[in-house]
A and B are shown apart, each in its own frame.
Chain A
Amino acid sequence: MGKIILKNIIHRKWSFIVTILINIVALSMIAMSVYIYENTTYCEKIIDKSMRYDIDNIGIITVGNLETEEGYMYDDMGEISQSMVNELKENDKIISVGAIGIEEGFDNSDIAKIQHELIDNEDNKNNNDDDELLHYYGMDSGIMDMFNIELTEGSIDKTIDTSDELTNYVYLGEGYKKKYKVGDVIDIQYKNDIHYRMIVNGFFSSKGIIAEPNVISTTAGFTSDKCCFKLKDSDVIIVHNMAYNGAVCFMVWNDNYSYDEIQNEVNKLAKRYDKTAHVVKLSKIIKEKVKEGNEISGYIMDVLWIILVTAVIMVTCIQITNILNNTSQYGIMYANGFSAGSIMTMLAVETFLNTIIAAVMSIVVVKKLIKFIFTAVTDENEVIDYIFKEYVIGVDILAAFIISIVSIVIPMIIIYRMKPVQLIGGEDT
């Protein structure tokens, strides 16, 4: 049977090739649409994934003279004081609270210099790639457990004293493991007169993802996937206090309490400090940010259906022509003891083979194309790989199956309704 299918494909190579081409075009367009669709909603998913808690129970606290109740614009945000945060930490309705700031920079930034210092100590120069974006996370100890940071050594300590600005507790990426161990004290001389002291508190794996607070806390939409950072082996987390510049204060509350209760609680506290406070739910922020993206996604879904239907119609037409041109073959097979079922199986296998080949080829081609186009702009290879693995491949294979199944239905009905006698009649012509 396999041999017969192979022979059929070889003998109808042109229609097979044309069908594959149509399938490749259609499936590539589908793959591309799925990628764009998933990319616009990527931030929503990845932020959700980066958090250890439900994003309905996570919020950002703004303090100051906030007039607009709805907004969450932070551009003139007043600073929340360390003592307010400390009080919130004591509150048993609140699980975690604290600020986080992220800095990234190329070779000449202050942070990069400190990190290079660490790396140089390690004699690991190959990480000193000029293009490498170095990340340096300043994090309140009270918030470290909010993110899905996986520590491979050491543990999260929420009571770390951060009052001495020149002595910092740090968590390091796995890249530093060869040189340092938990408990090590690293002294770094910087600009001759400043001495940093870093105490290694633990190591984190590169599996973690950190939501980008600057994107979350401003009105900027999720236009790129720079809403999150994937932890790298060269990254450093410094347990910081609130004086960290540009920090955004997150909090996680116990899900036994409603948002309103928490908002009241924070307001009461703020009043004592003569301030107003506003808690904005992370889920709400994300929802607003993806709203725009969703509109685009709606169009993409429409386009996707049109492509799918067009491909199905075209492939069906080719199949029908194929079958009508080959009725005598099916008739001869009938007369020689093949069942209708086996003949239909043969057709189905041919069709599936075709679309599966096309699906695999389209996935490879589109991935190459997307990497070529998008990595130049914003998207990272990792994001592309992730979206392909999680969504594009699955949807594309599913679409291939749909095309196969739907396009085989009409030809099968034709064959089934033709009497064997009629089929063999095709031999005379």
Chain B
Amino acid sequence: MITLRNVVKSYNIDNKNFNALDGIDLDIDETEMLAVMGPSGSGKSTLLNILGGMDSVTSGEYIFDGTEVNNLKASGLHKFRRDNVSFVFQQFALMDKYTIFENVELPLIPKHISKLKRKKIVMKQLERMGIADQANKYPTQLSGGQQQRCAIARALASDNRLILADEPTGALDSHNGQEMMNILKEINKEGKTVVVITHDERIASQCNRIVYIRDGKITSE
């Protein structure tokens, strides 16, 4: 489903070009659950942002299901992101001022889904994550594990095919972390493509495949 060919992402720091990604070749299958590992600053998050259409490549090809994402302009990239990608972040990226319900509802708004349908979808996902009773609370009133469940509920609500998780267990204890992995594995079995960035070998080993990145290059699979 995903093909990256010689992808380079460079930043200009002090007038010098710095390649955060330096010629990445990677294929990800639809059914896959992929772990990305590597030292800090190696380019893992950069890779994930490019996969998710949050950032554009400097050079190289990114093909998603036949679409040349690397050639998409801002509006095309926005539609690509809206219709295909869901993110889960280490710090949950929930909106503090919005209730749990409203946070999960968020990705449905740009999809122009009716209010009634939105409510159904949100409640279904909250129930699945076991936090339906927290719907009217605010993120800060929830535990870390509950917040990450909310983030997952939000990712599932949009029903997008690609789930990108940047250290989803990084802010959780090992028990909650493992629970999160169980949920992600379950989602993967239901047919979603999952890419997980992690520093934790035990987490990575539960995925179908692991790629290692160092200095913006894939070193081994």
Contacts and interface: CB of A to CB of B under 8 A. Distances in A.
Interface of A: 1, 4, 7, 11, 328-329, 331-342, 419-421, 424, 427-428
Interface string B47-61: 001001011000000
Interface of A is mostly: helix
Given A329-B95, A337-B78, 7 more contacts: A11-B97, A335-B52, A335-B87, A338-B82, A420-B55, A424-B89, A424-B93
A419 B158 CA distance: 23
Interface string B67-92: 00000001100100111000101010
Given A421-B54, A421-B55, A337 B97 contact: no
A328 B106 CA distance: 14
A420 B81 CA distance: 12
Contacts of A335: 52, 54, 81, 87, 89, 93
Interface stretch (B107-115, B119-127, B189-197, B202-210): B107-115
Taking residues whose C-beta sits less than 8 angstroms from the other chain, chain B's interface range is 20 to 34
Nearest to B56: A419
Contact of A337 (B55, B93, B95, B110): B110
A165 B45 CA distance: 102
Which of B75, B81, B94 is the most central at the interface, judged by chain A CB atoms within 10 Å of its CB?
B81
Given A424-B89, A427-B93, A332 B106 contact: yes
Q: Which 4 A-B residue pairs are closest in the complex by CB-CB distance?
A: A337-B82, A339-B78, A336-B107, A337-B110
Nearest to B81: A337
Interface string B28-56: 00000000000000000100010010110
A332 B93 contact: yes
Contacts of B98: 7
Nearest to B80: A337
A10 to B, nearest CB: 8
Contact of B110 (A331, A338, A427): A338
Contacts of A428: 91
B89 A427 contact: yes
